[in-house]
Amino acid sequence: MTATPNSPGAKPAGQPFVITRTFNAPRPLVWQAWTERDRLAQWFGPKGITVVSATLDFRPGGSYHYCMRTPDGKDMWGKFVYRQIDAPKRLEWLNSFSDAAGGVTRHPMAPNWPLELLSVATFEEAGAKTKLTIQWSPHNATPAECAVFDSMHASMNQGWGGTFDRFDAYLAKA
């Protein structure tokens, strides 16, 4: 049997990955930190990762294209392609690994990872704080790719937990 991708607009076969955290910062600051290149570069990525290159065209159809360097000197490129922007409440983008030229590539350590993830972030005011919820779902993925995505939720929780720790520290200084 040949695996077929989900049709555009169809509900993905994989289970969404959702992470939520409330940050001790007002929503306008949290929004800026997600939508301005220089701010994103200061905190984005797991612990130990440094953003060494980034371009941002923040508009529907635009992209955030970045290179993260691991502590051992390996570079990993990624890209967001923005689909919807509802400032300061919601962002929707397609998330993928990429090459230096911005082309979509496979995950460098998981060849059966979905090529694209549909990502939705919501920014809710919680008094003087901001509740951020992000959801990722496989986009146009095969059942095998969805299964790999589903199997990696614990690892994603760990990676995004570290990213959110870095974000929290950035917001405390901003």
Q: Please give the class, per CATH, of domain 17-173.
A: alpha beta
Q: Are 63 and 81 in contact (CB under 8 A)?
A: yes
- Cis bond before residue 88 (omega within 30° of 0): yes
Q: What token pair was written down for 173?
A: 């200084």
**pLDDT tens, residue order, the chain (174 aa):** 333 344 444 444 578 999 999 999 999 999 999 999 999 999 999 889 999 999 999 999 999 999 999 999 999 999 999 999 999 999 999 999 999 999 999 998 899 999 999 999 999 999 999 999 999 999 999 999 999 999 999 999 998 999 999 999 999 999
For residue 122 the two structure tokens come to 């919501």
